[in-house]
Amino acid sequence: MLTDIAFLVPVFVTLFVVIDPVGLAPLFVALTTGMTPRQRLLVGLRACVVSVILLTLFGLAGEAILAGIGITLPAFQIAGGILLFLTALDMLFDRRTQRRAGHAQQADDPSVFPLAMPLIAGPGAMAAMILLVGETGWDWQGVVAVHLVMVLVIALAFGLFLVAAPLERLLGATGTMVVTRLLGMLLAALSVQFVLNGLRGAGVL
């Protein structure tokens, strides 16, 4: 699965849409206003490392936690798909940006909160990691591939943090809105697929 494009592309699209590096870039600018370039670099790096640790924990232990409280994977697939669909609706109707902006309050060190959580490793990203790892059937290559893709997406977010200010000027308000709506449509379709997979796993379809 490490080289299976048909598997890797949906994983990348799902995590890219849920984590939304492009949407995080302007919030990173707001959170680090007044900081030196070195301070911004350290804040962004720390936030990304914490996010990788959190999402790795959920990817590896999330299903065991579910089993411990008596929740089946198909049930979580359906619930996770619904959660991701609600996230897609927020993106399509611009409620997600408003809620994220509410978290983006200036702090001495915003790297862990709110940047790492809930802005990068939010509930949607955690649910997506559990679902995507579950889709591999716990094949070790698939599990490794999902986590490598997750690290890649967060690395892209870090790269956008480094160019956040000029990117914000380049896209402008209209460009950011168009990108957000497009990603919302993709996430809506992927979330429906998660629900269908869950129904199939439960023997409904």
Helix (H, G, I), strand (E, B) or coil at 107: coil
Q: Supply the pLDDT for residue 127.
A: 85
pTM: 0.73
Distance CA 122, CA 46 (A): 16
Q: Supply the pLDDT for residue 75.
A: 83
Mean pLDDT per 10-residue segment, the chain (205 residues): 80 92 83 82 96 95 82 80 80 63 60 87 86 89 95 96 78 75 78 85 84
Task: At 36, give phi and psi (nearest 5°).
Answer: -75, 160
Residue among 91, 95, 86 at smallest CA distance from 179? 91
Q: Supply the pLDDT for residue 106.
A: 46
Q: Supply the pLDDT for residue 98.
A: 56
Domain boundaries, the chain: 5-200
Distance CA 29, CA 35 (A): 10
Q: Supply the pLDDT for residue 148.
A: 96
Q: Supply the pLDDT for residue 116.
A: 92
pLDDT tens track for 32-47: 877 888 898 999 999 9
Strand positions, DSSP E, the chain: none
Q: Supply the pLDDT for residue 14.
A: 92
Q: Supply the pLDDT for residue 99.
A: 55
